Amino acid sequence: MRLKVALVSLVLVFVFGLEMAAAETEQEIINRYLQKTVAKHTSKLGWASINFSVDRINRHNDYNDFAIIESAKLTNGTFSWIEQGFSFGADFGVVFKKRFAWSVGGEYWMKQGESLAEGDSYLQLSTGTTVSADPKSELSLFGVTTGLQYYLVNPPTLAEKLTKWSVRVGGTIGYYSCSWDVWPEYENLNLATGEPADMNATYKGTAPGFSFGLGLDYPLGLWDLGLGMDAGYLYLNFGNVAWYNAAGDEIVASLDGTEDGRVNLALSGVRGKIELKRYFNW
Protein backbone atom coordinates (compact mmCIF):
# COMPACT_ATOMS: atom_id res chain seq x y z
CA MET A 1 0.00 0.00 0.00
CA ARG A 2 2.76 2.42 0.91
CA LEU A 3 4.56 1.54 -2.31
CA LYS A 4 1.48 2.41 -4.38
CA VAL A 5 1.11 5.74 -2.58
CA ALA A 6 4.76 6.57 -3.22
CA LEU A 7 4.50 5.69 -6.91
CA VAL A 8 1.38 7.78 -7.36
CA SER A 9 3.08 10.70 -5.60
CA LEU A 10 6.12 10.46 -7.87
CA VAL A 11 3.89 10.38 -10.96
CA LEU A 12 1.96 13.46 -9.76
CA VAL A 13 5.19 15.36 -9.04
CA PHE A 14 6.56 14.45 -12.48
CA VAL A 15 3.38 15.52 -14.29
CA PHE A 16 3.20 18.77 -12.28
CA GLY A 17 6.84 19.49 -13.13
CA LEU A 18 6.21 18.94 -16.82
CA GLU A 19 3.25 21.31 -16.69
CA MET A 20 5.36 23.98 -14.96
CA ALA A 21 8.14 23.59 -17.51
CA ALA A 22 5.62 23.81 -20.33
CA ALA A 23 4.07 26.90 -18.77
CA GLU A 24 7.48 28.60 -18.40
CA THR A 25 8.39 27.72 -21.97
CA GLU A 26 5.10 29.10 -23.23
CA GLN A 27 5.64 32.34 -21.30
CA GLU A 28 9.15 32.66 -22.68
CA ILE A 29 7.78 32.25 -26.19
CA ILE A 30 5.22 34.96 -25.55
CA ASN A 31 7.89 37.28 -24.14
CA ARG A 32 10.12 36.73 -27.14
CA TYR A 33 7.23 37.43 -29.48
CA LEU A 34 6.37 40.62 -27.65
CA GLN A 35 10.00 41.75 -27.73
CA LYS A 36 10.17 41.13 -31.46
CA THR A 37 6.90 42.97 -31.99
CA VAL A 38 8.09 45.98 -29.98
CA ALA A 39 11.43 45.97 -31.78
CA LYS A 40 9.63 45.78 -35.12
CA HIS A 41 7.47 48.78 -34.35
CA THR A 42 10.21 50.84 -32.64
CA SER A 43 13.18 49.99 -34.83
CA LYS A 44 14.53 53.53 -35.22
CA LEU A 45 15.92 56.17 -32.89
CA GLY A 46 15.55 59.81 -33.79
CA TRP A 47 15.45 63.28 -32.35
CA ALA A 48 13.88 66.67 -32.92
CA SER A 49 15.69 69.79 -31.75
CA ILE A 50 15.77 73.55 -31.60
CA ASN A 51 19.05 75.45 -31.54
CA PHE A 52 20.75 78.82 -31.24
CA SER A 53 24.05 79.64 -32.96
CA VAL A 54 26.61 82.43 -32.72
CA ASP A 55 29.00 83.00 -35.63
CA ARG A 56 32.27 84.91 -35.28
CA ILE A 57 32.43 86.31 -38.81
CA ASN A 58 35.87 86.96 -40.26
CA ARG A 59 36.45 90.72 -39.95
CA HIS A 60 38.25 91.14 -43.25
CA ASN A 61 35.33 91.01 -45.69
CA ASP A 62 33.77 93.14 -48.43
CA TYR A 63 30.82 94.27 -46.34
CA ASN A 64 33.06 95.85 -43.70
CA ASP A 65 35.02 97.60 -46.47
CA PHE A 66 31.69 98.80 -47.87
CA ALA A 67 30.73 100.17 -44.42
CA ILE A 68 33.99 102.15 -44.19
CA ILE A 69 33.78 103.59 -47.71
CA GLU A 70 30.10 104.54 -47.59
CA SER A 71 30.32 106.00 -44.08
CA ALA A 72 32.94 108.45 -45.38
CA LYS A 73 30.33 109.76 -47.86
CA LEU A 74 27.80 110.51 -45.10
CA THR A 75 27.79 113.81 -43.23
CA ASN A 76 26.79 112.38 -39.85
CA GLY A 77 26.17 108.64 -39.77
CA THR A 78 28.58 105.71 -39.62
CA PHE A 79 27.78 102.11 -40.56
CA SER A 80 28.96 99.41 -38.18
CA TRP A 81 30.96 96.38 -39.18
CA ILE A 82 29.39 92.94 -39.25
CA GLU A 83 31.39 90.84 -36.80
CA GLN A 84 28.89 88.35 -35.38
CA GLY A 85 25.87 86.49 -36.66
CA PHE A 86 23.05 85.10 -34.50
CA SER A 87 20.65 82.44 -35.75
CA PHE A 88 17.83 80.18 -34.61
CA GLY A 89 17.17 76.78 -36.12
CA ALA A 90 15.44 73.41 -35.90
CA ASP A 91 16.56 69.92 -36.91
CA PHE A 92 15.26 66.38 -37.25
CA GLY A 93 17.72 63.50 -37.06
CA VAL A 94 17.86 59.71 -37.10
CA VAL A 95 20.58 57.35 -35.79
CA PHE A 96 21.65 54.46 -38.03
CA LYS A 97 24.48 51.92 -38.10
CA LYS A 98 24.90 52.39 -34.32
CA ARG A 99 27.38 55.30 -34.51
CA PHE A 100 26.11 57.32 -37.47
CA ALA A 101 23.35 59.91 -37.58
CA TRP A 102 21.76 61.86 -40.41
CA SER A 103 19.89 65.14 -39.93
CA VAL A 104 17.95 67.74 -41.90
CA GLY A 105 16.92 71.19 -40.74
CA GLY A 106 16.90 74.91 -41.28
CA GLU A 107 18.09 78.15 -39.72
CA TYR A 108 17.10 81.81 -39.75
CA TRP A 109 19.63 84.54 -38.99
CA MET A 110 18.71 87.61 -37.03
CA LYS A 111 18.90 90.77 -39.13
CA GLN A 112 22.40 92.15 -39.71
CA GLY A 113 23.31 95.78 -40.36
CA GLU A 114 21.29 98.83 -39.37
CA SER A 115 19.24 101.87 -40.30
CA LEU A 116 20.95 105.14 -39.38
CA ALA A 117 19.28 108.36 -38.26
CA GLU A 118 17.08 109.94 -40.90
CA GLY A 119 17.87 113.28 -42.54
CA ASP A 120 21.55 112.65 -43.28
CA SER A 121 23.43 113.86 -46.38
CA TYR A 122 25.13 111.54 -48.89
CA LEU A 123 27.81 112.43 -51.42
CA GLN A 124 27.24 110.88 -54.86
CA LEU A 125 30.66 110.72 -56.48
CA SER A 126 29.38 110.26 -60.04
CA THR A 127 27.81 113.74 -60.01
CA GLY A 128 29.78 115.36 -57.21
CA THR A 129 26.56 116.42 -55.50
CA THR A 130 25.30 115.88 -51.97
CA VAL A 131 21.75 114.61 -51.62
CA SER A 132 19.44 114.11 -48.67
CA ALA A 133 19.28 110.46 -47.57
CA ASP A 134 18.06 108.10 -44.88
CA PRO A 135 21.00 105.63 -44.79
CA LYS A 136 20.11 101.98 -44.41
CA SER A 137 21.98 98.70 -44.86
CA GLU A 138 20.26 95.54 -43.56
CA LEU A 139 20.83 91.86 -44.31
CA SER A 140 18.31 89.02 -43.95
CA LEU A 141 19.39 85.40 -44.27
CA PHE A 142 17.97 81.87 -44.03
CA GLY A 143 19.06 78.41 -45.09
CA VAL A 144 18.20 74.70 -45.19
CA THR A 145 20.81 72.10 -44.30
CA THR A 146 21.49 68.38 -44.12
CA GLY A 147 24.30 66.74 -42.21
CA LEU A 148 26.09 63.56 -41.17
CA GLN A 149 27.50 62.83 -37.71
CA TYR A 150 29.70 60.09 -36.27
CA TYR A 151 29.63 59.28 -32.53
CA LEU A 152 33.08 58.75 -31.08
CA VAL A 153 31.94 57.99 -27.52
CA ASN A 154 28.64 56.72 -26.04
CA PRO A 155 26.25 56.85 -29.02
CA PRO A 156 22.55 56.98 -28.08
CA THR A 157 20.82 53.59 -28.25
CA LEU A 158 17.41 52.40 -29.34
CA ALA A 159 16.61 50.92 -25.94
CA GLU A 160 17.94 53.62 -23.62
CA LYS A 161 18.31 56.67 -25.89
CA LEU A 162 20.86 59.10 -24.40
CA THR A 163 22.09 58.08 -20.93
CA LYS A 164 25.73 59.27 -20.88
CA TRP A 165 27.90 62.03 -22.26
CA SER A 166 28.10 61.56 -26.01
CA VAL A 167 30.94 62.89 -28.21
CA ARG A 168 30.53 63.28 -31.98
CA VAL A 169 32.09 64.82 -35.06
CA GLY A 170 30.30 65.80 -38.23
CA GLY A 171 29.53 68.25 -40.95
CA THR A 172 26.65 69.83 -42.87
CA ILE A 173 25.95 71.14 -46.33
CA GLY A 174 23.25 73.71 -46.95
CA TYR A 175 21.58 76.08 -49.36
CA TYR A 176 21.29 79.70 -48.18
CA SER A 177 19.45 82.76 -49.44
CA CYS A 178 20.08 86.38 -48.49
CA SER A 179 18.42 89.76 -49.04
CA TRP A 180 20.23 93.09 -48.70
CA ASP A 181 18.34 96.37 -48.42
CA VAL A 182 20.24 99.63 -48.92
CA TRP A 183 19.03 103.24 -49.04
CA PRO A 184 17.58 104.44 -52.39
CA GLU A 185 20.26 107.07 -53.07
CA TYR A 186 23.21 104.67 -52.76
CA GLU A 187 25.35 104.74 -55.91
CA ASN A 188 25.23 101.22 -57.30
CA LEU A 189 26.81 99.85 -60.47
CA ASN A 190 24.90 98.80 -63.59
CA LEU A 191 27.10 96.09 -65.09
CA ALA A 192 25.50 96.64 -68.52
CA THR A 193 26.42 100.32 -68.75
CA GLY A 194 29.01 100.96 -66.06
CA GLU A 195 26.83 103.75 -64.67
CA PRO A 196 24.67 103.95 -61.53
CA ALA A 197 21.09 102.72 -61.99
CA ASP A 198 17.90 104.26 -60.63
CA MET A 199 16.63 103.90 -57.06
CA ASN A 200 17.84 100.69 -55.46
CA ALA A 201 15.74 97.57 -55.11
CA THR A 202 16.57 94.70 -52.76
CA TYR A 203 19.82 92.92 -53.57
CA LYS A 204 19.42 89.14 -53.45
CA GLY A 205 21.71 86.15 -53.68
CA THR A 206 22.06 82.43 -52.96
CA ALA A 207 25.04 80.30 -52.01
CA PRO A 208 25.99 76.86 -50.69
CA GLY A 209 27.23 76.64 -47.12
CA PHE A 210 29.48 74.04 -45.47
CA SER A 211 30.25 73.41 -41.83
CA PHE A 212 32.27 70.93 -39.78
CA GLY A 213 32.93 70.57 -36.07
CA LEU A 214 32.91 68.68 -32.79
CA GLY A 215 29.87 68.23 -30.54
CA LEU A 216 28.84 66.98 -27.09
CA ASP A 217 25.43 65.72 -25.98
CA TYR A 218 24.46 65.57 -22.30
CA PRO A 219 21.36 63.71 -21.00
CA LEU A 220 19.06 65.90 -18.90
CA GLY A 221 17.26 62.94 -17.30
CA LEU A 222 13.79 64.28 -18.08
CA TRP A 223 11.43 63.40 -20.95
CA ASP A 224 14.32 61.93 -22.96
CA LEU A 225 15.81 65.40 -23.40
CA GLY A 226 19.45 66.11 -24.16
CA LEU A 227 21.56 69.26 -24.29
CA GLY A 228 23.88 69.56 -27.28
CA MET A 229 26.89 71.86 -27.55
CA ASP A 230 28.87 72.30 -30.78
CA ALA A 231 31.97 74.17 -31.90
CA GLY A 232 33.03 74.36 -35.53
CA TYR A 233 33.53 76.44 -38.65
CA LEU A 234 30.95 77.65 -41.20
CA TYR A 235 31.95 78.51 -44.77
CA LEU A 236 29.32 80.80 -46.31
CA ASN A 237 30.15 83.35 -49.03
CA PHE A 238 27.63 85.04 -51.33
CA GLY A 239 29.28 86.04 -54.61
CA ASN A 240 26.21 86.79 -56.71
CA VAL A 241 24.28 89.43 -54.75
CA ALA A 242 22.41 91.72 -57.18
CA TRP A 243 19.09 93.04 -58.45
CA TYR A 244 17.80 93.42 -61.99
CA ASN A 245 16.07 96.37 -63.63
CA ALA A 246 13.22 96.23 -66.15
CA ALA A 247 15.70 95.74 -69.01
CA GLY A 248 17.27 92.74 -67.28
CA ASP A 249 20.49 94.57 -66.43
CA GLU A 250 22.36 93.26 -63.39
CA ILE A 251 22.80 95.92 -60.71
CA VAL A 252 25.41 95.31 -58.01
CA ALA A 253 27.04 97.06 -55.07
CA SER A 254 30.64 98.08 -55.73
CA LEU A 255 33.44 99.39 -53.55
CA ASP A 256 34.96 101.54 -56.28
CA GLY A 257 32.39 101.79 -59.07
CA THR A 258 33.92 98.96 -61.10
CA GLU A 259 32.99 95.31 -61.64
CA ASP A 260 36.24 94.22 -59.93
CA GLY A 261 35.08 96.08 -56.83
CA ARG A 262 31.82 94.14 -56.59
CA VAL A 263 30.72 93.55 -53.00
CA ASN A 264 30.55 89.87 -52.05
CA LEU A 265 28.89 89.04 -48.74
CA ALA A 266 31.39 86.78 -46.98
CA LEU A 267 29.90 85.46 -43.73
CA SER A 268 32.32 82.60 -42.99
CA GLY A 269 33.73 82.11 -39.52
CA VAL A 270 33.92 80.12 -36.31
CA ARG A 271 30.53 78.92 -35.04
CA GLY A 272 29.24 77.90 -31.62
CA LYS A 273 25.85 76.26 -31.15
CA ILE A 274 23.67 75.15 -28.24
CA GLU A 275 20.83 72.73 -28.90
CA LEU A 276 17.91 71.19 -26.99
CA LYS A 277 17.13 67.69 -28.27
CA ARG A 278 14.14 65.40 -27.67
CA TYR A 279 14.88 61.73 -28.42
CA PHE A 280 12.17 59.25 -29.46
CA ASN A 281 11.61 55.83 -31.03
CA TRP A 282 9.28 54.90 -33.85
pLDDT at 31: 55
Name beta bridge partners: 123.
130
Could you count the other beta carbons within 10 Å of the beta carbon of residue 120? 18
For the segment 48-92, what is each residue's pLDDT rounded down to a tens digit?
999 999 999 999 999 999 999 999 999 999 999 999 999 999 999
Q: How far is CA 74 from CA 22, 129, 195, 198, 221, in A?
A: 93, 12, 21, 19, 56
45-281 is classed CATH 2.40.160.20: yes
For residue 49, what are the contacts with CB-CB under 8 A and spacing of at least 6?
Answer: 90, 91, 92, 93, 105, 228, 275, 276, 277, 278
Q: Is residue 14 very low, low, confident or very high in pLDDT (cuts 50, 70, 90)?
A: very low
Which residues, listed in sequence order, are joined to residue 95 by a DSSP beta bridge?
Answer: 45, 101
Nearest to 108 by CA among 124, 91, 129, 126: 91
The domain segmentation of the chain, as residue ranges, is 1-41, 45-281
Q: Would you state the pLDDT for residue 126?
A: 85
What pLDDT was estimated at residue 32? 58
The pLDDT tens digits for 172-198 are 999 999 999 999 999 999 999 999 998
Taking 60 as the threshold, does the pLDDT of residue 94 lie above it?
yes
Q: What contacts 44, CB < 8 A, 6 or more positions away?
A: 94, 95, 96, 158, 281, 282
This prediction's pTM: 0.82
pLDDT for 35 beyond 60? no
Which residues are CB-contacts of 236 (< 8 A; sequence separation ≥ 6)? 176, 207, 209, 210, 266, 267, 268
- For the stretch 210-234, pLDDT in tens is 999 999 999 998 999 999 999 999 9
Q: Any alpha helices (H) in 223-275, and if so which ranges?
A: none
Instruction: Kindly compute the dihedral angle of the four CA atoms of residues 182, 187, 190, 194, in this order, to the nearest 10 degrees.
Output: -160
Residue 15 has pLDDT above 90, yes or no: no
The pLDDT value recorded for residue 138 is 97
| pLDDT exceeds cutoff 60 at 250 | yes
8 A C-beta contact, residue 159 and residue 222: no
